Structure 1
Amino acid sequence: MKWSLNLGRVAGIKILVHWTFLILIGWIVFSEMRRGSDMTTTLLSVGFVLTIFVCVVLHELGHSLTARKFGIDTKMITLLPIGGVASLERMPSKPKQELLIAIAGPAVNVVIALLLYLVLPPMRELPSEDFFSPISSANFLYLLLFVNLMLVFFNAIPAFPMDGGRVLRALLAFKLGRVRATQIAANLGQLLAMFFVFIGFFYNPFLILIGIFVFFGAHSENIMVQHLDYLKGHRVREGMMTNFVALSPTDTVREALNKLLQGSEHEFVVEQEGQVTGTLTRAQLIEAVKNDQMQTPIADIMTTEVRTFDVQDKLSEAYAELQKNKVPLYPVLENGRLAGVINMDNITEFIMIKSALAQH
């Protein structure tokens, strides 16, 4: 994710914190200063939030390490002001696997809360409101126990992208199939999101942010699953472009610019006698023009490390790869030789045609 600070790796998974996280820390400091808190209380408040996000990282690691058991890797875990996001390479297609992965995160918070409960001295009576505010060394761990329980309950809400939405989808998928289960879970998630936004206007503006996040998360999940369903059983051959402009590695930047202006392509595959040698984008060409490289062979500026697909590969795999890496296009090979190219526009058009045909 752009504008994120790399904190390192845990279990081989990159941990990132988005720059907007600094806004949260700044708001906490500002709130404590406005309240008249001393430096100790302010630092404890900041430390408390940071400790919560350690628990959030552990929560996301619960998802990630469980997914790894099923052969699904995690690219990164990103910390945002509203929580953490584990970027799994793909979601499991089997309901049982998704159920276990979804439950693993909240299970970590249950374990943390249980350990704190066992370690902390038991309370003989219910604490008053004064006990919980402001944060102090006396209530720090008790509040952390409470927050971990809240994380469990919050994630139990049956709405994407919360864990409860994935649990609901997995349970429904046992009987209804993944597509119908996703539609039901997503629709419920969007209804809850609208409720959050409505309540947020009257009680807490933070709920508006959560509602927007949930609404679009549910919508994206629903669209993604529908698209993958349309692509099921189809091969890359069916969705690739065979009418395309290819360049030779000996072509100059000027010659490539002429082909850019003469056609509609913004990206080119570079090949020599049917063998793919690289790809070239419009951005690379423009950069070469700025550097006064008009007569330079494109072999000197093109991308040489190129992932390719075979005509017999699954079209859904190409779709997932394009979604994940945001690469402009991939060459498609048949018997090791260039047969076509595929990009997101082509797959989107393929999906649109399949969707239109399904309505008849």
Structure 2
Amino acid sequence: MIKFLSSRMRIHPVFWLVMAMGGLTGYLWETVIAFSIVLIHECGHAAAARRFGWHVLEIELLPFGGVARIDGGRDVAFVQEFIVIISGPLQHLWLPFLSQAMLALPFWGPAQHQILTSQNMALLLFNLLPVWPLDGGRLLHLFLERLYPYKSAYYRVLLFSCLGLVLFSIIMLIYYRFSVNLWVMIAFISLSIYKERQVIPLHFLRFLMAMSNRKKVFRMNRWIYAQPDEPITSVFSGFYRNSEHKIRIVGEKGKEINGKALVSAFFSGRCSGGKLEDYRFPADD
């Protein structure tokens, strides 16, 4: 574990595997340059996150980029998350110019410059594929969260990721079937999608807890119409990020429930029956 930018940095075993395979096959410069590009890419994410005051728990280097693990205890603004996500790919734009300037150095020649520019472009394009957990997949997830409730957006991005990965694998099977590194990365992404699917309920729980504790009031108001006997957890499934929610009970004129108040009541045990009709209206609701 390495300490970097005031955050822990962890290098995933698959990253070491890919790097070792490159070194053993005589591609030392390619290995060093790939490591450097990935490191700079991830530093872009971490620096942007720190600029917004986010708590960066850990930076993990992956063969295709990296993951800056952020404390998920807050419902951060969409624009902030967009900037943090895009700050990684943006680092690829200035690297060719840096490489061009480094040609004046004795250890850096046209061969190294060519390696960097080609690897830099390949990693950028690969990382922008709309597949989780690549940055392209995270941007797609952010877009879907504007259109769908939190939980639904999560399931949809993973579904799209599976379809995108299958299509990408077919193309690679036709043109690059003997690229071992590529198939290792595809296998890793497949495993990442599966593991992310398993922890969606945990992410959703953290989302609700963050909602119950937040003080910020969002400008976006969303109305949810529900039956009195509808399970509260079903109502929660209609909650969006960066939004305030008002639940209107069908058939009970004038009865409206504040979404945040409902979440707080649920966690505090004031909805013992588990249905919307079991909610106890506080004096100010």
Q: What TM bracket, shorter-length normalisation?
A: 0.5 to 0.7
Q: Paired residue for 2:45, among 54, 63, 82? A: 63
Distance in 2, Cα, partners of 1:205 & 1:18: 17
- Aligned amino acid, residue 158 of structure 1: P
- The offset of 1:22, in angstroms, is 4.8
C-alpha distance after superposition, 1:135-158 (max 9, x if no partner): x93321122022112222111101
Counterpart in 1 of 2:192? 217
* Runs of 4+ displaced beyond 6 Å: 118-121
Counterpart in 2 of 1:99? 82
- Aligned amino acid, residue 61 of structure 1: C
Counterpart in 2 of 1:113? 96
| Residue ranges of structure 1 left out of the alignment (5+ in a row) | 1-5, 33-44, 122-135, 236-346, 348-353, 355-360
**Are 1:165 and 1:185, in contact at CA under 8 Å, matched by a contact in 2?**
yes
**Are 1:72 and 1:90, in contact at CA under 8 Å, matched by a contact in 2?**
no
Q: CA 1:170–1:81 in structure 2 vs 1: closer, same or farther (change >3 Å)?
A: closer
Counterpart in 2 of 1:139? 111
- The offset of 1:213, in angstroms, is 2.2
C-alpha distance after superposition, 1:291-315 (max 9, x if no partner): xxxxxxxxxxxxxxxxxxxxxxxxx
Superposition pairs of residues 230-309 of structure 1, within 5 angstroms: 233=208
Distance in 2, Cα, partners of 1:206 & 1:58: 21
Distance in 2, Cα, partners of 1:23 & 1:225: 29
Distance in 1, Cα, partners of 2:63 & 2:141: 26
C-alpha distance after superposition, 1:312-344 (max 9, x if no partner): xxxxxxxxxxxxxxxxxxxxxxxxxxxxxxxxx
- Aligned amino acid, residue 95 of structure 1: F
Larger Rg: 1
Q: CA 1:87–1:229 in structure 2 vs 1: closer, same or farther (change >3 Å)?
A: closer
- Aligned amino acid, residue 44 of structure 2: G
- The offset of 1:48, in angstroms, is 3.3
Counterpart in 2 of 1:167? 139
Identity of aligned residues (%): 23
> Cα RMSD between the aligned structures?
3.4
Q: Which has the higher contact order (CA 8 A, sep 6+)?
A: 2
Counterpart in 2 of 1:151? 123
**Are 2:73 and 2:206, in contact at CA under 8 Å, matched by a contact in 1?**
no
The TM-score, its normalising length taken from structure 1, stands at 0.48
Q: CA 1:118–1:168 in structure 2 vs 1: closer, same or farther (change >3 Å)?
A: farther
**Are 1:187 and 1:218, in contact at CA under 8 Å, matched by a contact in 2?**
no
The TM-score, its normalising length taken from structure 2, stands at 0.59
C-alpha distance after superposition, 1:19-74 (max 9, x if no partner): 55554444334423xxxxxxxxxxxx313312221221111111112122333222
C-alpha distance after superposition, 1:107-155 (max 9, x if no partner): 011121344357769xxxxxxxxxxxxxx93321122022112222111
**Are 1:194 and 1:211, in contact at CA under 8 Å, matched by a contact in 2?**
no
Distance in 2, Cα, partners of 1:175 & 1:22: 38
| Residue ranges of structure 2 left out of the alignment (5+ in a row) | 211-266, 268-273, 275-285
Distance in 1, Cα, partners of 2:198 & 2:182: 24
Distance in 2, Cα, partners of 1:143 & 1:87: 30
